[in-house]
Amino acid sequence: MVDSGKVETKNNDGIGTISFSHPQSNSLPSGLLRLLADEITIAGNDPKIKVIVVKSEGEKAFCAGASFDELLSIDTFEKGKTFFSGFASVINAMRKVPKFVIARVQGKAVGGGVGVACAADYTLAMNTASVKLSELAIGIGPFVVGPAVERKIGTSAFTDLSINATEWKDATWAKEKGMYADTHPSIDELDTAVNNLAKKLSECDPEAMALLKKAFWQGTEHWDTLLIERAEMSGKLVLSDFTRHAINKFKGR
C-alpha cells in the first residue's frame, strides 16, 4: 500500500490479475505508478502466469489519471519529469511484457487512465465507460500517453480527443475508434467476458502469444526513449502558473 492506494496481483490458474485502487477515483500518484509498472513486469516474467488482466477496484471510475494533489506539489523540473515518467513506465511495461494484457474498464477513464486502456493489447469496457484527455485544459497536453492512444485509435481520433479536452467521449465512440474491443451493459457481463477471454488465452501456446505480441508492437522499440522525452515536456509545463491555476480551479469544482 502507498499514497492511500494499493496495487495487488493474484494468479488464478495462469491468469494474473493486477488490481489498483486509490480513494480519489482511482487516480495514480507516483508511488502507485511505480508499483503498477513493477507488478506488470513481474507478472510478465512469471512462468506461472500466462495472461495478464489489469483492472481497478470499485464500480465507478476506472482511473482519474494523474493525482492533482501531487501535480500541485511539483516544484522542480526533475520532480515533474520523474512524476510523468511513472506513466511512461506503466505504458512501456504493458508494451514490453511477453504476454497479452487485457484491460478491464468498468468506469470513466481520464488522461493516464485512457493511456492504460490504450496500452493494453485488448480492452473490454462497460457501456458507461466514457473517456477524456483533459491534459490540455490544465496547460499540459497528453504527451506521455499520446503514442499509446494514437497507436490504438489513429491520429484523427487522438487529435479530436486531445483538442476537445473538456468533453467526454462515450463508450460507443471509444468502441467505434478501436479503443474498446467490446462493451457490456453490466459489471457481471463485463467480468464474464474478461474471464472467458483470459481463460482461453491462458490455454494457448505461450511462445506463440509472445511472438504475436512482439509483432503487434513492432515499430515501438524507440518508446523507451520517446516516452521519457515526452515526460520532460510535461515536467516543464506542470511548473507554469497557468497549470497551477487550472488545477486549483478543477479541484474547486
Q: What band does 1 get if pLDDT is binned at 50, 70 and 90?
A: very low
Q: What band does 53 get if pLDDT is binned at 50, 70 and 90?
A: very high
Q: Is 221 exposed, middle or buried (0-12, 13-18, 19+ CB in 10 A)?
A: exposed
Pinpoint the alpha helices (H) of 184-240.
187-202, 206-216, 223-237
Pinpoint the alpha helices (H) of 97-129.
112-119
- Distance between CA atoms of 17 and 168, rounded to whole angstroms? 28
Residue 213 lies in a domain: no
Whole-model pTM above 0.85? yes
Q: Is 210 exposed, middle or buried (0-12, 13-18, 19+ CB in 10 A)?
A: middle
Q: How many distinct structural domains can be found in the chain?
A: 1
Q: Over 60: is that where the pLDDT of 3 sits? A: no
Q: Provide the phi-psi class of 141: left if phi over 0, else alpha when psi is between -120 and 50, else beta.
A: left
Residue 30 lies in a domain: yes
Q: Can you give the length of the chain in residues?
A: 253
Q: Minimal CA–CA distance to 37: which of 82, 81, 97?
A: 97
- Distance between CA atoms of 29 and 204, rounded to whole angstroms? 35
Residue 239 lies in a domain: no
Structure confidence at residue 67 (pLDDT)? 86
Residue 229 lies in a domain: no
Residue 55 lies in a domain: yes
Residue 168 lies in a domain: yes
Backbone angles phi, psi at 126, to 5 degrees: -75, 155
The pLDDT tens digits of the residues spanning 128-177 come to 999 999 999 999 999 999 999 999 999 999 999 999 999 999 999 999 99
Helices (H) and strands (E) in the chain, counts: 11, 8
Q: Over 90: is that where the pLDDT of 18 sits? A: yes
CATH of the domain at 172: 3.90.226.10
Structure confidence at residue 157 (pLDDT)? 98
User: Domain of 103?
Assistant: 6-202
Residue 253 lies in a domain: no
Q: Is 173 exposed, middle or buried (0-12, 13-18, 19+ CB in 10 A)?
A: middle
Q: Over 60: is that where the pLDDT of 48 sits? A: yes
Residue whose entry in the numeric block shows the C-alpha cell 505504458:
91
Structure confidence at residue 6 (pLDDT)? 96
Residue 221 grid coordinates: 522499440
Residue 207 lies in a domain: no
* Mean pLDDT calculated for residue range 192-213: 98
